[in-house]
Amino acid sequence: MEPIPKKGTPERQRLIDAHKACMDSMKGVAGNSVLLCETPGDTTVVTGGVHADPVLKRVLLRMRGESPKGKLIVICTRVDAEWRIARLSGIRGVPPEFVGDKVYTDEQEIQHDIFLMRLDELSDSYGFPEDYHEGWKRKDDNWPIT
Amino acid sequence: MTTMRLTGYADKFGVHPGDTIQFYVNCDGPSEYKVEIVQMINGDTNPRGPGYIDKPVEAAVNGSYQGRKQVIHGGSYAYVPDAKPFHVESFTLQCWIWPTAPKTHPRYWKHGPQGLVTKWSNECGYGLFINEEGCLELRINEHRITTGVPLRDHAWHFCAATFDAATGAVTLIHEPQVVYALDPEIAPVEASLKVAIAHAPVPVALGAYVERLAPEDPLAASSKPAGVVFAGKYNGKLDSPRICNRALSRAEIEMMKAGAQPGLTERRNAGPTGKLSECIVAAWNFSVGIDTLTCKDEGPYRFDASLVNCPNRGMTGYNWSGQNFDWKHAPQEYGAISFHDDDVDDARWTSDFAWVVPETGVKSRFYAAKLTTSEGDEEFIPFWVVPRVGQETAKIAVMVPTISYMAYANEHVACNAGGAELFVYRVPIMQQQNMFLSEHREYGGSIYDTHTDGTGISISSRLRPILSIRPKYDHFLAQAPWQYPADLHLIYWLETMGYDYDVFTDEDITYDGLARIENYNVIITGSHPEHNSGTQLDALHNYTQRGGRLMYMGADAWYWVHSYHPGYEDKGRGVVTEMRRCESGIRTWRADPGEYYHQSTGELGGMWRFRGRYLHSVAGVGMSSEGFDVSSYFSRTPDSLDQRVAWAFEGIDYDEKLGNFGLVGGGAAGLELDIVDTMLGSPPHTLTVATSAGRHTEAYLLVMEDFGFNQQGLDGTTHPRVRGDIAYHETPNGGACFAFSSIAYCGSLPWNNCDNNISRLTKNVLDRFSMDGPLPAPPDSAFKHRGRADYDPTPMEHRSRKERGEPLPA
């Protein structure tokens, strides 16, 4: 199990820098991956990112596997123009709620801000025995199935 | 962001010239809206592409209309109109239940009591319920009697209640079918109520109760029967509901579990006794008429119940033995109906306007009713003008994958499933349509979703607003257009390149068979025709075998078995489609044991592959991997130089990167990818003319039906089958198939105003395939015996580019 790197550590900063570089290089692509475009906005050659950094890959997978309740998500508020961060309710019929007022004008940059928020929000013991609870027996084990 | 105050649908997907198409609109707020019929050209708003394009159509129906609110009465149930035998003084109610959400979160969209067997409304009448606390509850007028014991979810329980008006004695029975070691005993609840049942003039409801009679209410207007608002929609299975008109003994209740068996003689049936038969009001047997919308009553009054919003039938009952897996072979074990509070089969709105499509002057194309308001609201209701069989107007036809559009209709995966992010490999982006649907569950979900109670959705209706079949809609899977708006990339290309073409839908080919397509020289598919009926695949097979040409423009096609429900044929073709996710394949949910057979036709659901109809046998390739982060490009292989196919690459250099650009993932090879596999149905003479091997990210994973053992190394950075193969093969009588093998492929067509090598390749193929008469015969040398697995690796033509000394350029 890959722990979430603690605040202030060089490893955490390394992940942040790598993620930011990937998101910047993906601007303009009709899609997104935490990989580095050799030519910005062009996926002909993509390297680095999760392909080169196993810690970054595993931390991202842990984040992506979070259960729906309270999970951060992107809402497009103006088609191909504006995006905002929101949280899923985890309850059927209750829509996501916006988090903060920041409006993004790029669909890749917002991915990086969510990465930063999750680094702060996820506990470093997450997924270890000290986090075990009754829900682990009932499909509420922080790894949602589809 | 704007909320969606305009939503709508039409009564048809495909409409013939001279026919009328009805439109149904919800305009919730603005006093009026404007209607314009438009031809749809491009739906993608990506600034790197041509942008949204439509073309106005002169139509008598264009104009302003008064807005009105229309709502959907969602959730499934069955009802029987009110009748005197239901006006009992005493009663026994009994049924088996398998509740899936007996207790819900206080903020859950339909938090509250759930009706099981009810003849109750507004504190009048009687009925069995699950109360807000998840416990079995009997209601008699305003009185509530409960066990106070929570019903275990996803488990069978026998429930019964008796009331003797003469003595006031009430009994409520809750007996779990399986009792675990530490379960407390649940004793029958005894009570006394000296009341007379007040009977309201409301229907009997199974899986719901009548909230009110409200003929003027928009919600009641869309209900069935109209004017009656049903509430308390039950989530779970219901089996063998009975109503008797006196308080039965425990032994008689046991006997009634077997139901009514009319006409008892010395030679037939086992009961119930004559005396017990005298008190039966209704005894429904859900195992009869599974492919219908009627629940048969075997009691004396024939109170057959009408099903509303198409709950699931062919569901295993409380007595399923696990020996038979097909409801047709053991119907008596399939007496359960699975109800859901978000089922919807028909919005049942009132028509707002209709357009009589002129006999002439309106080409067969993609169209939409474009609705706008002065306050900035916008909505599109897509439809297609389809020529009648025998009145085709072009040599080229586009097969619009409407079954696939229905399968993805109103998809909720980004919102429902936290795991969605694991397969898209980034944080999903929800559009305003997704936000609206996350709150309006009554619009129903897609066949990719689970119901609000968590069970899989296997039914999809087109008689409801489908907000995913819209332009200006990027799908979270692709962060780009998907399905309908992605297919508009192809339409934009056909229009820009000046081709004349017809369109038809999956419905048309399913019902018309070969007649629908045999007069065209070439059929072009959409980008992702994943969901198909059997007769559609039959027609395509017959077509290509008789000299027809097929251009398969995408990937992951011919994958899932679909059936149109015959219970809706009075409303048109292809109104409701069904698909069960069975033993393998990419499944966002999995059907339960014994529930693999479609309720609509009785055919086995799941993948066509496991029905012996390999994907690769239809157009030469089949799905091998999927990933949703970014796309890549193709490189030509030596097969592309073969004179059988070299014509397709005229004007394209051997070492060009094919499609390292595009509006879907940034490349032509992406999202879902097909490969050639002669062991899985690709004809042995198939030529693989280009491949994207080795270029995909770790987000791309091998499909699970291609491996039997979990293992590392299944992603695009390591597994050789994670690739797309563009392929060509000839069919008899001068026919052929060209498969482009990537969902993202069409997203590259519009790039640089359609001036690019993907556009060139596609044009070369379409120009040849659309010619009259058989295609030129392959050279004599092409005719030879070929194995499936067996081949000789020694000849030069069977070796790789590297072995030939011609590695790909960097």
A29-59 pLDDT, tens per residue? 999 999 999 999 999 999 999 999 999 999 9
pLDDT at B698: 97
Residue A123 is predicted with a pLDDT of 80
Contact at CB, A42 and B479, closer than 8 angstroms: no
Chain A from 71 to 90: CB within 8 A of any B CB? 71-80, 83, 86, 88-89
Q: Is B217 exposed, middle or buried (0-12, 13-18, 19+ CB in 10 A)?
A: middle
Question: Which amino acid, B157?
Answer: H
Q: What are the C-alpha distances in Å from A13 to residues A56, A110, B334?
A: 11, 18, 59
A28 neighbourhood in chain B, CB within 8 Å: 48
A105 touches chain B (CB under 8 A): no
Contact list in A for residue B626 (CB cut-off 8 A) is none
Q: How many Å separate Cα B218 from the centre of its chain?
A: 27
Contacts of B420 in chain A (CB under 8 A): 146
Count the neighbouring beta carbons within 10 Å of the beta carbon of residue B609: 23
Q: Estimate to the nearest angstrom the gap between the alpha carbon of A11 and the chain centroid.
A: 17
What mean pLDDT do residues B769-786 have? 96
Rounded distance, CA B206 to CA B149, Å?
Answer: 22
Judged by CB atoms closer than 8 Å, whether chains meet at A74 and B428 is answered as yes
Q: How far B400 CA sits from the closest chain A CA (Å)?
A: 24
pLDDT (tens digit per residue) in B76-131 = 999 999 999 999 999 999 999 999 999 999 999 999 999 999 999 999 999 999 99
Residue B772 confidence (pLDDT): 98
Name residue, tokens 């596609």.
B762
The yes-or-no verdict on residue B2 having pLDDT over 60 is: no
Looking at the partner chain, which of B45, B416, B422 has a beta carbon nearest the beta carbon of A64? Answer: B422
Contact B170, B140 (CB under 8 A): yes
pLDDT bin (cut points 50, 70, 90) of residue B1 is low
Residues of chain A with Cβ-Cβ distance to B415 below 8 Å are 68, 73, 88, 95-96
B582-588 long-range contacts (CB < 8 A, ≥24 apart) are B582/B606, B582/B607, B582/B610, B583/B610, B584/B609, B584/B610, B584/B704, B584/B705, B585/B559, B585/B560, B585/B609, B585/B703, B585/B704, B585/B705, B586/B626, B586/B703, B586/B704, B588/A146, B588/B413, B588/B417, B588/B448, B588/B449, B588/B450, B588/B456
Chains A, B: CB pairs < 8 Å: 172
Residue A126 falls in which region: left (phi positive, over 0), alpha (psi -120 to 50) or beta? beta
Helices (H) and strands (E) in chain A, counts: 4, 5
List the one residue out of B534, B522, B446 whose CA is nearest residue B484: B446
Please check whether residue A36 touches B, CB under 8 A. Answer: no
Q: Helices A10-26 and A54-64 meet at what angle, rounded to 10? A: 80
- Out of B105, B423, B662, the one facing A91 most closely (by C-beta) is B105
What's the DSSP call for residue B712?
S
Distances (CA, A) of A28 to A133, B70, B215, B320: 43, 40, 53, 55
Instruction: Tell me which residue in B427, B432, B663 faces A74 most closely, judged by beta carbons.
Output: B427
Q: How many whole angstroms separate alpha carbon B35 and alpha carbon B354?
A: 11
**The pLDDT of residue B566 is above 60:** yes
pLDDT digits (tens, 9 = 90+) for B449-480: 999 998 999 999 999 999 999 999 999 999 99
* A34 vs B: CB within 8 A: yes
| B98 φ/ψ angles, rounded to the nearest 5 degrees | -135, 80
CA distance B595 to B512: 30
* Interface mutation target, options B233, B426, B441, B453, chain A, most CBs of A under 10 Å: B426
* Min Cα separation A20/chain B (Å): 13
Residues of A in contact with B105 (CB under 8 A): 91
Computed on alpha carbons and rounded to an integer, the radius of gyration of chain B in Å comes to 29
Interchain proximity A73–B472, CB inside 8 Å: no
For A93-102, how does the pLDDT look when each residue is reduced to its tens digit (9 = 90+)? 999 999 999 9
Percent of chain B with pLDDT over 70: 100
User: Predicted confidence band at A137 (pLDDT cuts at 50, 70, 90)?
Assistant: confident
pLDDT for the residue A145:
59
Residue B85 CA from chain centroid, whole number: 40
Tell me: pLDDT of B706 over 70: yes
Whether residue B608 contacts residue B558, with contact meaning beta carbons closer than 8 Å, is answered with yes
Which pairing describes strands B280-285 and A36-39: parallel, antiparallel, or unpaired?
unpaired
CA distance B152 to chain A (A): 13
Q: What average pLDDT does the segment B723-740 reach?
A: 98
Mean pLDDT of chain B: 96
Q: Look at residues A35, A31, A2, A5 and name the one whose alpha carbon lies nearest to residue A116.
A: A5
In single-letter form, the type of residue at position B740 comes to F
How many CA atoms does the CB half-sphere of B248 hold within 13 Å? 28
Interchain CB distance below 8 Å, B698 and A68: no
* pTM of structure: 0.97
Using DSSP, state whether B149 is helix, strand or coil. strand
Q: In B484-594, where do the E strands start and end? A: 502-505, 522-524, 531-533, 549-552, 560-564, 576-578
Task: Give kind and range of the element (H or E) at residue A47.
Answer: strand A42-47
Question: In whole angstroms, what is the distance from residue B78 CA to residue B308 CA?
Answer: 6
| Per-residue pLDDT at A143 exceeds 70 | no
pLDDT digits (tens, 9 = 90+) for B269-304: 777 888 999 999 999 999 999 999 999 999 999 999
Q: Which residues of B touch A61 (CB under 8 A)?
A: 422
- B267 Cβ partners below 8 Å, 6+ apart? none
The predicted structure's pLDDT at residue A13 = 97
Mean pLDDT across B749-767: 98
Buried b (16+ CB within 10 A) or exposed e, B489-513: bbbbbbbbeebebbbbbbbbbbbbb
Distance CA B500, CA B521 (A): 12
Residues of B in contact with A89 (CB under 8 A): 107
Residue A113 host element (H or E)? helix A109-121
Pairwise CB contact (< 8 Å): B630 & A76:
no
Kindly determine whether residue B631 and residue A61, on different chains, have CB atoms separated by under 8 Å.
no
What number is the average pLDDT over the span B743-749?
98
Q: Chain A contacts of B439, Cβ < 8 Å?
A: 93-95
Q: Are B318 and B59 in contact (CB under 8 A)?
A: no
| β-strands B735-739, B701-702 pairing | unpaired
Residue type, A1: M
CA distance to partner chain B, nearest, from residue A56 (Å): 13
Q: Which two tokens stand for residue B146?
A: 């409960």
